[in-house]
Structures are given as C-alpha cells and as structure tokens.
Chain A
C-alpha cells in the first residue's frame, strides 16, 4: 500500500524560530501533496495544496509568507513555519496523491509546540 512519512513526529521550539516539517511519499510519486492543520478535538483544516514543481495554492486565511511550502520533487514536500508563535502550536498532517490515484494517503502527523 501507499506509505507517507513525516518528519519530525514531534517538535518543540522557541517563539520566533522557524521549523521545517518534511512529508515524503515512500513508494509512489506524489504529484499533489496537501497540508492540513488539526486542533485538539477538531477536524482537519486544509492549509494548502501543492503540485510538484509549482507554487502552492493556499486556502483563505492561511498566510503564505508564514507557512512556506516547497514541493520540489515527486516524493518530498516541506512545510516551514517561519517565526513560530505559541498560537502556531498544533498538529500538522500531510497527505499525498499520485496522478492516477483517487485516494489521498496521509502521513502520521507532526505535533508542533511553540514555547
């Protein structure tokens, strides 16, 4: 089956620093990757959609300069939270989809805590 990994699984950082989260598709080529944010006891909220080699499309209300997304290869997308603040603390989940796939495959998520 399709496997998506995320690294790190958990990160704690100081306010004002930047944090990079990696999302990798291990056994398929992910033409599209999605980044979600999930607050405790809430549903997944789409932050942005990225297609390999193109600029990411951000959802309304998501600051593209704060949440930098790079999808430079068919197996790797990165989300960088710049100048992180405590309100950025959340669970970030990526998912990936190949060209011929109708289903998205989810990574295990990254828990970010900003002190």
Chain B
C-alpha cells in the first residue's frame, strides 16, 4: 500500500519570503500522480499543483513550484514571495495512474503553514 509522509506538522514563513514544505511517499508503482492541496480555514480543498511521475520537468504554477525527485520518492513544494493568503493546511497526495490499483488519493498528514506579517 502507498503511504505519504509529511514530516513537518507546522511551518512558518515571513511574508514575501520563500518556504519549502516536504513530502515523501512510498510506492512500488512507476506511474502515478502527485498533488499538493491547500485547505484554508474555510476547509475547502484547493488544488495547488500537480505532477505526473513520468515527467522529469518539475511542475510550476506562478509562485508555487515542486522539486520532484522520483528516485528518492520526494515531492517538496516551494512557495515563493509568500503572502498572508497562503496561510493554510497543506496536504501532499498520491494517486496511482492505474485504475486497477484504485483511483483514490492517499493523503499525507498535512503541514500547517503560518505566514507572519
């Protein structure tokens, strides 16, 4: 079974600075997807960024980028120019690319990010 680990229960960053959230996962599969979701106080899950395992290039979405290291099974999220609105719970998630292994997400325990003004 796949597992996702986020070793930082809480992180803080100064406004306008950069912060990196860690995520590692365990799988025997070669094809899969990785996601970072943000859950603000409203508790609505918001997709931040997505990475396909077959792509070597790291995904980027505006101020958000990932460092995907497939061999190390690591998928960290970098937030640049942090803003107050970035404060939230961040979840790393794994999904198999093969339907016979299930289409559900496996979520990590989350990292609570605080942004200091």
B103 and A32 contacting across the interface, CB-CB below 8 Å: yes
Q: Which residues of A contact B42 (CB under 8 A)?
A: 108
A43 and B110 contacting across the interface, CB-CB below 8 Å: yes
**A: contact size bracket:** 10 to 19
The residues in B between 41 and 56 inclusive whose CB is less than 8 angstroms from any CB of A are 42-47, 50, 52
Q: Closest residue to A97 on the B side, CB-wise?
A: B103
Partner of A43 from the list B46, B91, B103, B104 (CB cut-off 8 Å) is: B91
**B: contact size bracket:** 20 to 34
Q: Which residues of B contact A106 (CB under 8 A)?
A: 37, 44-46
Partner of B107 from the list A44, A91, A105, A109 (CB cut-off 8 Å) is: A44
CA distance A42 to B110 in the complex (A): 8
What is the interface of chain A mostly: helix, strand, loop, or mixed?
Answer: strand
A49 and B104 contacting across the interface, CB-CB below 8 Å: yes
CA distance A95 to B35 in the complex (A): 14
Q: Report A109 CB to chain B, min CB distance, Å.
A: 5
**B residues adjacent to A (C-beta < 8 A):** 33, 35, 37, 42-47, 50, 52, 91, 95, 102-105, 107-110
**A residues adjacent to B (C-beta < 8 A):** 32, 34, 38, 42-44, 46, 49, 91, 93, 95, 97, 102-106, 108-109
